[in-house]
Amino acid sequence: MRNSLLFDFTFDKAANRIYITREFDAPQQLVWDAFTKAEILNQWWAPQPWYVQTRYLNFTPGGRWFYAMCGPEGEKHWCVQDYISITPISNIKFTDAFTDENEIFNPDFSCFEWNLDFASAADVTTVSITIQHKTLSDLEKILEMGFREGFTMTLNYLEELLKNLRKGIK
């Protein structure tokens, strides 16, 4: 087990991109499962005290994950991820958007594209994420909403969840 795992979160306003690199002390297949299976995503894909409820997940190219981020006061923010391409255990590309409970896109936010690369060495898995926004305004809006802080929290929850899952599989 490594004590100092890499975590880097940067953004490039000239390119309208966010870059996140995070290492996890877990095998690549387990980290992949955490990003691709609803029963695991529901346990970490929101900053506490928020949580996720999956309505459905069709993890195939052309498929969709439709879910709500649920708040402590009963509020729900609906989102979709539309999968563009999937290379098992190494890459996922999808668009991400805010919607309503009927999957109607929120006109106040544009879609943004995610690219996730998974690689491992010595049972440490690195996830490299690039999030492409259409405009600088879109990027700044997401950052102002607290994306950096919220997603950092969710990745920390994932780290703890992976530790617990590893204990269960050893």
97-146 pLDDT, tens digit per residue, is 999 999 999 888 889 999 999 999 988 999 999 999 999 999 999 999 99
Residue 30, pLDDT score: 96
Burial of 158 (0-12, 13-18, 19+ CB in 10 A): buried
Residue 169 has pLDDT above 80, yes or no: no
Q: What is the mean pLDDT of residues 40-60?
A: 95
Q: What is the mean pLDDT of residues 68-92?
A: 96
Q: 138: domain range? A: 7-169
Residue 26 has pLDDT above 80, yes or no: yes
59 neighbors 65 (Cβ within 8 angstroms) = yes
pTM to 2 decimal places:
0.93
Label residue 170 by pLDDT band (50, 70, 90): very low
Q: What angle do CA 148, 61, 81 make, to 5 degrees?
A: 30
The answer to the question of residue 70 being in a domain is yes
Q: For the chain, what is the domain count?
A: 1
CATH code, domain with 126: 3.30.530.20
Q: What is the mean pLDDT of residues 83-99?
A: 97
In single-letter form, the type of residue at position 133 comes to: H
Q: Which of 162, 170, 149 is nearest to 28 (CA)?
A: 162
- 3-class SS of residue 29: helix
Q: What is the mean pLDDT of residues 81-101?
A: 97
**Is the N-terminal amide bond of 88 cis, ω within 30° of 0?**
no
Residue 72: what are its φ and ψ, rounded to 5°?
Answer: -70, -20
CA 150 remoteness from chain centre: 11
The answer to the question of residue 121 being in a domain is yes
The answer to the question of residue 1 being in a domain is no
Residues facing 19 on adjacent strands: 10, 130
Share of the chain above pLDDT 90, in %: 88
Q: Which of 170, 126, 144, 162 is nearest to 44 (CA)?
A: 162
Residue 64 has pLDDT above 90, yes or no: yes
The answer to the question of residue 2 being in a domain is no
In single-letter form, the type of residue at position 80 comes to: V
Residue 166, pLDDT score: 87
Residue count of the chain: 170
The answer to the question of residue 100 being in a domain is yes
- Rounded distance between C-alpha atoms, residue 131 and residue 96, angstroms: 9
